Chain A
Amino acid sequence: MSIFRDAGHLFRLAGVYLAGTLLFLVVRAVVVPHSFGQYGHYRGAAIAEIAAKPLHFAGHQTCEACHSDVARTKASGMHAHVNCEACHGPLAKHAADPSIDPGKPDVATLCVRCHAASAARPKDFPQVDADQHADGVPCNTCHQPHSPAIGPASAASGGAK
């Protein structure tokens, strides 16, 4: 058949494209993880892998099981809705073994993270220019972090006097 002979180069070109497509399919089968698309446009096995990672945060219920006195102070103050580990950092290791000292947060950097004056914060949110407000005196000299308002409740729990 002369048509096949004279169009032979086209079949060769088609062969190159077919080989390229097959190579792509092989690469795809090897490279794309098997669990891809199991639940959505991501690797399904990633969920189990992430779930298997060690926990770093203990959760405030765990903290409150031992530190019920602090929990009571906190519940009556402005920081009632701030979780323990938001300031103290992840404490799963301390919860598992209380002998591990979690250390105390550095109030010089901690408090200003939320309370430094910024136009982006809501107007009714307590915020100060730390240099003018405290002049280098640590915040917890006057404010008891678990119940920061200065007043009788705060003074009774060891805060500002």
Chain B
Amino acid sequence: MPGVEGFMYPNEVSLYWSVLIVLYPYITGLVAGAFILASLVRVFRVEAVGPTYRLALLTALAFLIVAPMPLQLHLGHPERSFEMYLTPHRTSAMAMFGFVYLWYLMAVLTVEIWLDYRGDIVMMSQTTRGWRRLLYRVLTLGSANVSERALHIDERVGWFITLIGVPSAILLHGYVGFIFGSIKANPWWSSPLMPVVFIFSAMVSGIAAVLLLYMAMMRLRREPIDMRCVDTIAQYMLYIFIIDFSLEMLDLIHRIYEADESFRSLDFMVHTKLWSSQVVLQICIGTLVPIVLVGLVQVTRLSSAVRKRIYAISGSLTLIGVLAMRWNVVIGGQLFSKSFLGYTTYKMGLATREGLLVSIALIILPLFILAALVKLLPPWPQKRQEAAAASAPAH
């Protein structure tokens, strides 16, 4: 049989979880990472990353809206996903993700964005016209109270929501890791470290995504990049990346030393089918290179122009590396036989429902949603000041 080596059981020859299931933890991870970056400002009082606070929240929302789409496309019948809420299946880890998702979307992210933007929404409901005015008026929920005390209450409640949001973000992505880590029949997945590795890699990817988006948007707007902000973000990315890489190496060393019955098979797989995607792309290009590059910035004095380029390259490589990590987990876990004597091949479709083009569309879609969100809820201080100035005579 083409693409099959050694002994495969018949149900293992073709992969059930396609590239869309690679995107699901990838996109969810970007959400969790972006939110953690936002929480740095609000909860951990890292003022330097303040300029990206709102952008991080909007990025998290844009990606969160798209997060279930790979699953729905993979399974088909997206309308049935609502039944998960109507008749919840408590023993299904995957079904329970629906509630984790709903909690994060409705109780954390939406509320935090609304509270943070409420003052602006009220202003814009008075300064805009047409459908935008109607939209902002709906978003004010009929309350135009932006008194100092009301905004102070928003600030306190928002802080509390972010405080809940941090464990929620960890839950959201830890849960995705748990879905894989709890599959005891698959030695490539079954590891209690899986949720932890997923969370840290998610933080790294989310932070890298916001870093890149911030720099790209500043460039598009022809505004100077706040170097103190990007330096601090890159620092956090480096620290978390080091923890993430250490955890992944810990998992690897543990597997090598334990060398259970699956080890020879998995080791062979890493040296053959996963060599380029895991060792070359994930570990070398996607992890070591960005760590070394951002590490260099910490120990040398480089001009801001060089630092910007380094951050752009490291951020992009980080995103590629984390995507490769998701690929190696999801696809790698299905390439070997439970007999540990055979291997199969994954052939990605091009223009199929679960093919490459759909995957690219799913990666790009959040950027369009983000563009719309940025248009509706501008995260830039200048815009807010303009809006405030325009609305001042109305008061």
Chain A positions within 8 Å of B, measured between CB atoms, are 2, 5-10, 12-13, 16-17, 24, 27-28, 31-32, 36-37, 41, 120
Binds A, one of B141-149, B274-282, B283-291: B141-149
Question: Counting CB contacts under 8 A, is B114 at the interface?
Answer: yes
Give Cα A10 to B87, complex, Å: 30
Contact with A along B101-131 (1 / 0, CB 8 A): 0000010000100100010000000000000
Question: Counting CB contacts under 8 A, is B305 at the interface?
Answer: no
Give Cα A108 to B247, complex, Å: 62
Give Cα A6 to B147, complex, Å: 7
Number of A-B contacts (CB under 8 A): 39
Q: A6-B145, A6-B147, A32-B87 are in contact. Are A13 and B114 (CB under 8 A)?
A: yes
Q: Which residue of A lies closest to B140 (CB)?
A: A9
Q: A6-B153, A13-B114 are in contact. Are A31 and B145 (CB under 8 A)?
A: no
Contact: B141 with A120, CB < 8 Å?
no
| Number of residues from B at the complex interface, CB < 8 A | 19
Give Cα A13 to B153, complex, Å: 14
Kindly list chain A residues whose C-beta atoms are within 8 Å of the C-beta of B89. 41
Give Cα A27 to B85, complex, Å: 11
- Of the candidates A9, A13, A37, the one whose C-beta lies within 8 Å of that of B145 is A9
Q: A13-B111, A17-B106 are in contact. Are A7 and B86 (CB under 8 A)?
A: no
Give Cα A30 to B150, complex, Å: 40
- Of the candidates B10, B85, B87, B141, the one whose C-beta lies within 8 Å of that of A9 is B141
Give Cα A17 to B105, complex, Å: 13
Kindly list chain B residues whose C-beta atoms are within 8 Å of the C-beta of A2. 149
Kindly list chain A residues whose C-beta atoms are within 8 Å of the C-beta of B10. 120
Give Cα A36 to B153, complex, Å: 44
- Of the candidates B86, B142, B147, the one whose C-beta lies within 8 Å of that of A12 is B142
Q: A17-B106, A32-B87, A41-B89 are in contact. Are A10 and B149 (CB under 8 A)?
A: no
**7 pairs across A/B with beta carbons < 8 Å?**
A2-B149, A6-B147, A9-B145, A13-B111, A13-B114, A28-B86, A32-B86
Contact: A6 with B149, CB < 8 Å?
yes
Kindly list chain A residues whose C-beta atoms are within 8 Å of the C-beta of B142. 12
Contact with A along B62-99 (1 / 0, CB 8 A): 00000000000000000000000111010000000000
Give Cα A31 to B85, complex, Å: 12
- Of the candidates A8, A31, A36, A41, the one whose C-beta lies within 8 Å of that of B143 is A8
Extra contacts, 17 of them, besides A7-B150, A36-B87 (Cβ < 8 A), are: A2-B149, A6-B150, A7-B153, A8-B145, A9-B140, A9-B141, A9-B143, A9-B145, A9-B150, A10-B153, A10-B157, A12-B143, A13-B114, A17-B106, A24-B85, A27-B86, A41-B87
Contact: B118 with A9, CB < 8 Å?
yes
Chain B positions within 8 Å of A, measured between CB atoms, are 10, 85-87, 89, 106, 111, 114, 118, 140-143, 145, 147, 149-150, 153, 157
Q: A6-B150, A10-B153 are in contact. Are A16 and B141 (CB under 8 A)?
A: yes
Give Cα A151 to B10, complex, Å: 38
Most buried by B among A13, A27, A120: A13
Distance (whole angstroms) from the CB of A75 to the closest CB of chain B: 34
Q: Which residue of B lies closest to A12 (CB)?
A: B141
Kindly list chain B residues whose C-beta atoms are within 8 Å of the C-beta of A28. 85-86
Distance (whole angstroms) from the CB of A43 to the closest CB of chain B: 9
Q: A32-B87, A41-B87 are in contact. Are A5 and B141 (CB under 8 A)?
A: no
Give Cα A32 to B84, complex, Å: 11
Q: Which residue of B lies closest to A32 (CB)?
A: B86
Kindly list chain B residues whose C-beta atoms are within 8 Å of the C-beta of A10. 153, 157
Give Cα A5 to B111, complex, Å: 19
Distance (whole angstroms) from the CB of A16 to the closest CB of chain B: 6
Distance (whole angstroms) from the CB of A120 to the closest CB of chain B: 7
Kindly list chain B residues whose C-beta atoms are within 8 Å of the C-beta of A36. 87
Most buried by A among B87, B149, B153: B87
Kindly list chain B residues whose C-beta atoms are within 8 Å of the C-beta of A24. 85
